[in-house]
A = this chain, B = another copy of it.
Amino acid sequence: MTSRSEDTRKKILDAARAEFSDKGLHGARVDVIAERSGANKERIYAYFGGKEQLFRETLKASIAEIINEEQFLLEQLAKDPTRMTEATLDHYISFLERHPHFWRLLAWENLSGGAEAEVMGGIREETFKEMRQLYKQRQKLGLFRKDISFEAFIYTLSAVSFFLFSNRHTLERTLQLDLGTPATRKKLMAEVLELINHGQIPHR
């Protein structure tokens, strides 16, 4: 594993991420990945074994990215636990915005049966463990409702953030919203946050 081969491997992985993200497993072309990466097609097979395995590696690498980023979220939440909902939602949206291949690969994968989704399991477990503790703490403090589980909470935040990107095209047509414009998007999400948030804290 010389630095040269490591470099080639990485170039292939980068190109694969772009290509698979764009067109999915079946739409992607190995030739295109080779060309995009500047490497020889055969190297793909030497390093990754085949198209499907490369897709899997690409997916894994993309999922790995979320881990690092979630560390920031955890640190932030530890410092300032007020506004947990907002901070988490913001983080999710920001992450998906900056890593379009993440949600795209995940979406392709889910449509194809999610055989590789298991990769995600263990990976995010730890983050969730810490967040769950924080959530329960706040439930005890009376800031979050006790009859709403952490799972439902995180599910909702995931859904409203993921959907924004994954169904953007359809949304723009049906809701007549230009979600490409940050301002429009922010306004929408602010309202969504409001909707979620005020189920949490019993203002009275």
- A residues within 8 Å of B by Cβ? 23-27, 104, 106-114, 117-121, 124-125, 128, 145, 147-149, 151-156, 158-160, 162-164, 166-177, 188, 191-192, 194-200, 202-204
**Chain A binding surface, main DSSP class:** helix
Residue from the list B121, B148, B176 in contact with A191, Cβ < 8 A = B148
Given contacts A145-B194, A198-B199, are A156 and B151 in contact (CB under 8 A)? no
User: Which residues on the B side are within 8 Å of A120 (C-beta)?
Assistant: 170, 173-174
Beyond A148-B194, A159-B159, A191-B152, whether A174 also contacts B124 by CB under 8 A is yes
Do A168 and B110 have beta carbons less than 8 Å apart?
yes
Contact B195 A152 (CB under 8 A): yes
Give how many copies assemble into the complex. 4
**Interface pair A117/B155, CB less than 8 Å apart:** no
Residue pair A109, B156 in contact (C-beta under 8 Å):
no
A200 to B87, CA, bound (A): 21
**Contact indicator A106/B155 (Cβ below 8 Å):** no
- Given that A160-B160, A195-B148, A196-B196 are known contacts, is A155 also in contact with B170, CB under 8 Å in the complex? no
The chain B residue with its CB closest to the CB of A198 is B199
Cβ contacts under 8 Å, A191 to chain B: 147-149, 151-152
Additional pairs, 6, CB under 8 Å, beyond known A145-B195, A148-B194: A107-B110, A111-B166, A117-B172, A117-B173, A158-B167, A160-B160
17 A-B residue pairs with CB within 8 Å: A23-B26, A107-B110, A107-B111, A111-B166, A114-B169, A114-B173, A118-B173, A124-B174, A125-B174, A145-B198, A148-B191, A151-B175, A151-B191, A153-B195, A155-B160, A155-B188, A195-B200
